[in-house]
Structure 1
């Protein structure tokens, strides 16, 4: 499987398993099955209420922990130093591991002390509780502040990204600063595969529309994808997306799709244009 790396040590499979909104036994079964069929990159978060279920799957699996890339995140209301530490410690207990491979701030906070939060994030990495650190859902201006003004040694950013939502400015910035970009909701909750353009490309190559949408992302330097998939069929189909071969005509057709269709923007989301 294709892997992505950064100079400061982050190393993850380009295709991972997104676990939201699965919980309980459904989540455990999906993660256990994903590991059986070849996934080695699992994404979770405290807000998903499924870290214990993911942890159970890790314990059930024959795959050694050191072969699995594990990402989790701290929620935006737990970004004060003590609360962030407690959040990660709770995540480690639930997951049954001493260290996660990547720890994200899930969303920017409200009326928060950004510098202290980033200082704590870096300290948790330095203490060995997370191999690498990153942020999710940060607009470009805030990411610039964290990386350049505060000098945080980030390794990754996670944002919504798919054929209907452009992220080129963020992606350009990430590449300049050696950050990997993980695309969540890479299938736009079914909207990507429903596009006639995507369906036509899929028919042309004899593949699934979802595989076309995923391969468009995977063909971009420094981009990983974490589609949620519960069934074995969908998990295998997503893994097989890496085998699809898109051509220039396909990419031009996808470029013509609207790139402003955001499907995740809760009330506490930041100003995406800031």
Structure 2
């Protein structure tokens, strides 16, 4: 799936002005979820924006309670209505738990693609074996896998799986919950480039094929800074130094 290097994660955003501002600055990927309770907020921000709707990818996720074959369709349609869109550009299985069953959930999502309610299907927080089963169960191509990825936690095997199967990795929490400014390797690279550690963390993530990021931000200053990270090129040595950070902090474990 062709997504920009930096999109907008909206968990916790409750003001449509933040979404409208992001779009005015050039963001073209909005990520939300049923469980965030803010699809209408994101929709209001999109509606207020002058951005070309066809150029904006609007993504949401079905929570574990809505993954039954009989629930996925009505819930997806409600999400589209709340977001104010004719079709969801990308619909994820949020976590493979609860009512999730690859043999029934994923065919239900295929039907939504066939009906034009959803354009692309993704999954989130999956293990490699679960990704294999999803790819086998889906008629539609798997468009994306959303997973936690930042200098304190990432799994190279998930990136390798994505490269092998041709889908995008969407990295959430790329700023490690605000902790990237405490990581010596990140700070050293930031000082060398005269940029913020947050910029380096995003640039490090997007340097990894096929990764794009969705950092959350609401102020114009942070929105601008995150978007600008796509223009920072790190050297192989700088990337390797951050890769070598001990990876031990998963913010959102199963």
Q: Same fold (TM over 0.5)?
A: yes
SS at match of 2:90: strand
Which residues of 2 match residues 1-274 of structure 1 at below 5 A? 10-23=1-14, 26=15, 28-110=16-98, 112-148=100-136, 153-265=141-253, 269=254
Give the SS at the match of 1:134: strand
Q: Between Structure 1 and Structure 2, how many residues are aligned? A: 254
Query: Would the alpha carbon gap of residues 149 and 19 (structure 1) be closer, same or farther in structure 2, given more than 3 Å must change?
Result: closer
CA–CA separation in structure 2 for the residues paired with 1:176 and 1:239: 28
Q: Say which is worse superposed, 119-128 or 206-215, in terms of deviation.
A: 119-128
Secondary structure of residue in 2 paired with 1:182: strand
> Take 2:119 and 2:216, find their aligned partners in 1: how far apart are those partners?
24
Which shows bigger deviation, 224-233 or 138-147? 138-147
Cα drift, residue 150 of structure 1:
5.7
Distance 2:136 2:169 in 1: 17
Aligned to 1:175, the other structure's residue is in SS state helix
How has the CA–CA distance of structure 1 residues 49 and 150 changed in structure 2, closer, same or farther, with 3 Å as cutoff? closer
CA deviation after TM superposition for structure 1 residue 151, in Å:
5.8
Structure 2: distance between partners of 1:241 and 1:140: 29
Asked if the contact 1:166–1:260 (Cα under 8 Å) also holds between the matched residues in 2, the reply is no
Is the alpha carbon distance of 1:116 and 1:18 closer, same or farther for their aligned partners in structure 2, counting shifts above 3 Å? same
Give the Cα–Cα distance (whole angstroms) in 1 for the partners of residues 68 and 194 of structure 2.
50
Segment of structure 1 superposing worse, 248-257 or 81-90: 248-257
Give the corresponding residue for 1:5. Answer: none
* Contact map agreement 2:66 2:99 (CA 8 A) in 1: no
Give the TM-score normalised by the residue count of structure 2: 0.96
Q: Distance in 1 between matches of 2:164 and 2:215?
A: 26
Residue 251 (structure 1) shift: 1.6
Q: Within 2, Cα distance between the matches of 1:197 and 1:42?
A: 30
Q: Is the 8 A contact 2:80 2:88 kept in 1?
A: yes
| Aligned alpha-carbon RMSD (Å) | 1.4
Aligned partners of 2:248 and 2:45: how far apart in 1?
Answer: 37
